[in-house]
Amino acid sequence: MVGWMVRNIRIPMGLKLLCAAVIAWFPEACCLGQGDLQTPVMVDRKPAAGLRVRQVALEYKGTQVYHGLYLPSDWQPDKKFPVIVEYTGNQWKFGPGTVKEANLGYGMSGGSGFLWVTMPYIEKDHQRNAVTWWGDKAATVEYCKTNLPRICKQYGGDLENVIICGFSRGAIGASYIGLADDQIASLWKAFFTHDHFDGHRNWNYPESDRAAALRRLARLKGRPVLVSGQRGHQVRDDFLKDYLDLAAFEFLDVPVNEIFKIPDGKVLNGHTDLWMHRESPARQQVRKWLAEMVRKKVVQENSDSGKQ
């Protein structure tokens, strides 16, 4: 009887709105667990320190295409900050595949010291973001090439200190999109991927084969790449062991099922970008690597651009 009564309680609209406001303004109310990081909820507001906002590029005004911008809690308009650019995973039963639900980049920085930009995949109709695979690949690549320099110029991002990262689809996208041509490839100082890697296996989209992936990976030109995953070393053993000269590869196995007792709050599956939100040796290793990348001068081998 009690269960029936609970299921049929009518919640007043005012209380629903109050709860929504609490979640929007105090994201810690939707905790993974005590002490875990909480990704800021995306809002439609002017960018400011500690806010994560939804932005629509000039070229896509009037559409539902958007990217996410987070200015760090220590952001100041007269200072330069390194930048994390993230591409998200696919939509599936444990994730929506949307820009606003990205988490990995925030876990990397912890909310300070870095601009965090979540880039979209542009759907083929150019009216919305694609939540599965790449949409219009050329438009997706062009969006990043146009908007990343624009964002950095406006908000103090250091274009010499941009790290690209991605989870799942985004881990593949770090090179499928991020190394699609020489121009976009020149934007990145280092690469961080989690769960999947371009060329590790074939997928149901054009140029997912290993030969095509290797043509993209040739654009790494010796730069640092941290390949992580629940079986990160498997990417090396199955694929990259024969191509370690392409980049300064490092590999990290992340024991997600030890970090969380799944199901654990929002974490319902080991394939998740939320593992960086809980303290662990794996997170410490990623953050140590990230700090080294920011300090380090990275030279692209055989680069005609001269960009470091």
Q: How many CB atoms lie within 10 A of CB 14?
A: 8
- Tell me the β-bridge partners of 43: 53
Taking the C-alpha atoms of residue 126 and residue 52, their distance in angstroms, rounded to an integer, is 24
Low-confidence ranges of the chain (pLDDT < 70): 1-34, 299, 302-308
Q: What is the CATH number of domain 48-295?
A: 3.40.50.1820
- In a 13 Å sphere around the CA of 304, the CA atoms on its Cβ side amount to 3
Global model pTM greater than 0.75: yes
Q: Kindly state the greatest CA–CA separation across the chain.
A: 74
Q: What is the model's pLDDT at position 12?
A: 53
Cβ atoms within 10 Å of 64's Cβ, excluding its own: 11
Amino acid 299: pLDDT? 66
Tokens of 104: 């990995």
Residue 5: the pLDDT is 32
**Domain spans of the chain?**
48-295
Cα radius of gyration rounded to whole Å, the chain: 20
Number of H helices, E strands in the chain: 10, 8
